[in-house]
Structure 1
Amino acid sequence: MVRLFTDDLSISYGEQLIVKNLSVTIPDKKITTIIGSNGCGKSTLLKAITRIIPHQSGLVLLDGKNISKENTKSLAKKMAILPQTPDSTSGLTVSELVSYGRFPYQNGFGRLTKKDYEVVEWALEVTGTADYKHRPVDALSGGQRQRVWIAMALAQETEIIFLDEPTTYLDMAHQLEILELLQKLNHEQERTIIMVLHDLNQAARFADYIIALKDGEIVKAGTCEEVITQDVLRQIFEIDAVIGQDPRTNKPMCITYNLLKGEKQHEKTHIPVYAASSSSY
């Protein structure tokens, strides 16, 4: 089943075209990861699909409806996004921040109902953040803060959650903690998860579907076995990768790699540098 897809989507910043006539399908109730080099359009695509930024042409369709014509609150009940750099939380407690996820359900007075409080408590419990719900968000560690932001997205009660590099600035243990939480939400609650990741092995380990972008266009989309290959990684990152198998998950993993540009540059400069040094004797 497909609920969300784009059709010939083009996105620009000023006169610079970032995403070009992109048609992409997001599998429902699965984890989709978008990979690619810096500046290839990963975050731009997420922002356009969630209507944070406008697109110049094409369509984003959710449940057969053009999202650009959807009511803001109605759309916020269907999809939530955790940006790469969330807004400042100065002065907010954990429970206060999570309660912001209830905005789409509030009336004109902006007061939380009994239902809202129940959902906030549930989101705190699910993400393991209930023990510090009265603490200031700014006093938490990076991993704890990220869990709180995810709790806020859950409090929004959407079936689709977008995350832009959710593991950035976290150590290895906290990265794994966040990704396992998202996987748990997908498996137990059937949330559709779409996220941008830089770590190829994390993408292969946790994603059901991977979209590889280069210069705003899809190089390859499919399962991790179809995307995490030497040929695809060569195209999108210009690296010569050695692909093996993760002994715990049996998923493909990048064991090591060389920069193709670096090898070419080394070949060009090696002889002149040697000749110059030898001539000085």
Structure 2
Amino acid sequence: MVLLYTDHLHIGYGERLIVKDLSIEIPEKRITTIIGSNGCGKSTLLKAMTRIIPHQSGSIILDGRSITKEDTKDLAKKLAILPQTPESAAGLTVGELVSFGRFPYQKGFGRLSKKDLEVINWALEVTGTIDYKYLPVDSLSGGQRQRVWIAMALAQETEMIFLDEPTTYLDMAHQLEVLELLQKLNEEQERTIVMVLHDINQASRFSDNIIALKDGQIVKSGDCEEVITHQVLKEVFHIDADIGRDPRTNKPICITYNLIKGEYENEKENHPVFSYSGSANA
């Protein structure tokens, strides 16, 4: 069942169009991952689907209703987003940060109710961060902090959780820790997860549905068998990839690859802003 979909969506910054006439479907209770090269529109699409930025034309429909017509607090009860670089939590304890997830449910002076406190503790328990509740967020490791931010998203009690590169700046063990947590939330609590990942092997391992973007348009959408192929990776990333099988999951993985020089150089010429910062990481 489709929970969210876009219809002929156009998104841009000023006169620069990033996402062009895009129609996608996000299946309910599944993990969907968006992959693609830098500047292809991944983060831009995620921000538009969560109403962080406006779209120029087309529709974004959640539960049969345009997100532009949703009240802000009502929308925050349906979806939560963990941005690529969460705002600083300087001076806050873990419990205080996670309590911000209860904002959509608060009234009056914003005091936490008994239900709020129960949900906060539940989110901390589920993410394995309950022992950090009274510790400063700044004192935690990168993987621990990322789990705390996920706990805050869980405290919103939303059907959908959006994550923009949740493994960025984490070492291999912490990346696996975060992705296994998201998989657990999907399997045990039926949360719909939508995330952007750079690592195509992680996308293959942890996703039910993958959307491969190039220049703001879909190259291929489907399960890992359909998307993690030599031809799709050639078109999306300009690489000559050797595809094998993960011995643990039997899913396709990219074993090694070479750049297809001519195509890669042309791509850089067409995208002069080719870095990992600012809007270039669209």
TM interval, shorter chain, is over 0.9
Aligned to 1:244: 244
> Conserved in 1, the CA contact under 8 Å of 2:238 and 2:263?
no
In the alignment, the residues of structure 1 paired with residue 48 and residue 111 of structure 2 have an alpha-carbon distance, to the nearest angstrom, of 30
Give 1:262 deviation, angstroms: 6.5
In the alignment, the residues of structure 1 paired with residue 131 and residue 110 of structure 2 have an alpha-carbon distance, to the nearest angstrom, of 26
| 1:123/1:263 CA distance change after superposition, 3 Å | closer
Report sequence identity in percent.
78
The gaps in structure 2 that reach 5 residues or longer are 266-282
Say whether 1:210 aligns with 2:210: yes
* 1:95-117 alpha-carbon deviations (Å, 9 max, x no partner): 00000000000002111100000
Aligned to 2:276: none
* 1:67-87 alpha-carbon deviations (Å, 9 max, x no partner): 011000000000000000001
* 1:233-253 alpha-carbon deviations (Å, 9 max, x no partner): 000000000000001000000
| 1:74/1:229 CA distance change after superposition, 3 Å | same
Say whether 1:158 aligns with 2:179: no
In the alignment, the residues of structure 2 paired with residue 261 and residue 45 of structure 1 have an alpha-carbon distance, to the nearest angstrom, of 28
Aligned to 1:277: none
In the alignment, the residues of structure 2 paired with residue 264 and residue 119 of structure 1 have an alpha-carbon distance, to the nearest angstrom, of 48
In the alignment, the residues of structure 1 paired with residue 251 and residue 2 of structure 2 have an alpha-carbon distance, to the nearest angstrom, of 25
In the alignment, the residues of structure 1 paired with residue 264 and residue 17 of structure 2 have an alpha-carbon distance, to the nearest angstrom, of 29
Q: What is the SS of the residue equivalent to 1:220?
A: strand
Larger radius of gyration: 1
Aligned to 2:52: 52
* 1:101-159 alpha-carbon deviations (Å, 9 max, x no partner): 00000002111100000000000000000001100001110000000000000000001
In the alignment, the residues of structure 2 paired with residue 2 and residue 142 of structure 1 have an alpha-carbon distance, to the nearest angstrom, of 34
In the alignment, the residues of structure 2 paired with residue 3 and residue 181 of structure 1 have an alpha-carbon distance, to the nearest angstrom, of 22
In the alignment, the residues of structure 1 paired with residue 77 and residue 189 of structure 2 have an alpha-carbon distance, to the nearest angstrom, of 16
In the alignment, the residues of structure 2 paired with residue 25 and residue 177 of structure 1 have an alpha-carbon distance, to the nearest angstrom, of 28
User: Please, what TM-score do these two structures have when normalized by structure 2?
Assistant: 0.93
| 1:165/1:112 CA distance change after superposition, 3 Å | same
Aligned to 1:17: 17
> Conserved in 1, the CA contact under 8 Å of 2:238 and 2:264?
no
Aligned to 1:270: none
Q: What is the SS of the residue equivalent to 1:55?
A: coil
Aligned to 1:28: 28
Task: Please give the root-mean-square deviation of Cα atoms over the aligned residues, in Å.
Answer: 1.1
Give 1:264 deviation, angstroms: 8.9
In the alignment, the residues of structure 1 paired with residue 264 and residue 119 of structure 2 have an alpha-carbon distance, to the nearest angstrom, of 56
Aligned to 2:102: 102
May I ask how many residue pairs the two structures share in their alignment?
Answer: 265
| 1:136/1:246 CA distance change after superposition, 3 Å | same
Q: Which 4+ stretches in 1 moved above 2 angstroms?
A: 262-265
In the alignment, the residues of structure 1 paired with residue 84 and residue 262 of structure 2 have an alpha-carbon distance, to the nearest angstrom, of 30
Aligned to 2:141: 141
Aligned to 1:196: 196
The gaps in structure 1 that reach 5 residues or longer are 266-281
In the alignment, the residues of structure 1 paired with residue 54 and residue 118 of structure 2 have an alpha-carbon distance, to the nearest angstrom, of 34
In the alignment, the residues of structure 1 paired with residue 141 and residue 254 of structure 2 have an alpha-carbon distance, to the nearest angstrom, of 30
Q: What is the SS of the residue equivalent to 1:48?
A: helix
In the alignment, the residues of structure 2 paired with residue 155 and residue 63 of structure 1 have an alpha-carbon distance, to the nearest angstrom, of 21
User: Please, what TM-score do these two structures have when normalized by structure 1?
Assistant: 0.93
Give 1:263 deviation, angstroms: 9.3
Say whether 1:169 aligns with 2:160: no
In the alignment, the residues of structure 2 paired with residue 222 and residue 97 of structure 1 have an alpha-carbon distance, to the nearest angstrom, of 36
Aligned to 1:273: none
In the alignment, the residues of structure 1 paired with residue 135 and residue 47 of structure 2 have an alpha-carbon distance, to the nearest angstrom, of 30
* 1:190-248 alpha-carbon deviations (Å, 9 max, x no partner): 00000000001000000000000000000000000000000000000000000000010
In the alignment, the residues of structure 2 paired with residue 140 and residue 25 of structure 1 have an alpha-carbon distance, to the nearest angstrom, of 36
| 1:243/1:77 CA distance change after superposition, 3 Å | same
